[in-house]
Amino acid sequence: MTTPRDLVGYGQTPPNPRWPNNARVAVQIVLNYEEGGENSVLNGDKGSEAFLSEMVGAQSHPGRAMAMESLYEYGSRAGFWRLHRLFTERQIPITAFGVASAMEMNPAAVEAMMGAEWEIASHGLRWIDYQSIPEGIEREHIARAIDLHTRLTGTRPLGWYQGRTSPNTARLIVEEGGFLYDADSYADDLPYYDRRHAKPQLIVPYSLDANDMKMVALNGFTEGVQFFRYLVDTYEQLRAEGGRMMSVGLHGRIAGRPGRAIAVAQFLDHVLESGDAWIARRIDIARHWLELYPA
């Protein structure tokens, strides 16, 4: 039966990723940098942001929503720097998913990412929902995101994660042609190739469960210790299986809050002490896979 969806994947016999140093798990930490690129009438949008904040279930307003704006501002003003200290003190390499318009508003944060030798992957031009945005506009936004990202960092992004995708996003990224990997999937514990479009595109899948967004969801964690326990349980299960990848998603305005940052720090220390992890940037995992299993 022909289908546009792959519901089989690797099945019972996933490939051996042969992670460096015989690591049991490749751990990949993402810090999403979105603050300033969200919905706002200041950005020409019809209303305010209503997604991923402390105000669970908030509605978009046709004018400015000052409380929502300040919740996002916390991420860039304070939360980002708290998490930056956690990673740099432990010399942990991470990937930032950077919304280009948000990065433009805070050059100091971009400089800090680059100074720490983080990978900065593209998180699109804006932190908005592209589900119903016309294909031509989304294509234009992808091109503008790459151009702005390149001007801000000196190099074009090699990784892509839109986040709030449209049915066209994956094809548009293949057509753009310059990304080593696309992270707009949650479909596996290992990289794989998407062959639905003009050429094979490496997918390095992301995660919404080992993600601090669950701290601001109705079905999510209510305290840092729950988040810590879930991250450790995920890591230990994948460690027992061996040959897997674990993605952890963070945001300055969420995990950057003091009562959650401590959970992140404790998880990082657990992974470091285990001795069984390759903690890598997403681009490093992509390059490893491309070399080991070329398309």
Structure tokens belonging to residue 18: 């042969």
| CA atoms 160, 165, 166, 167: torsion sign | positive
Q: What is the pLDDT of residues 242-267, one digit of tens each?
A: 999 999 999 999 999 999 999 999 99
Span 203-247, pLDDT tens digits: 999 999 999 999 998 888 999 999 999 999 999 999 999 999 999
Q: Token pair of 112, please?
A: 């800090």
Q: How far apart are CA 77 and CA 80, in angstroms?
A: 7
What is the sign of the dihedral through the CA atoms of 59, 225, 237 and 287? Answer: positive
Distance CA 18, CA 137 (A): 41
Identify the burial level of 171 via C-beta atoms within 10 angstroms of its C-beta, where 0-12 means exposed, 13-18 middle and 19 or more buried. middle
Q: What does the pLDDT look like over 14-62, one tens digit per residue?
A: 999 999 999 999 999 999 999 999 989 999 889 998 888 888 888 999 9
> Is residue 138 over pLDDT 70?
yes
> What's the rounded Cα separation, in Å, for the pair 199 and 295?
9
pTM: 0.96
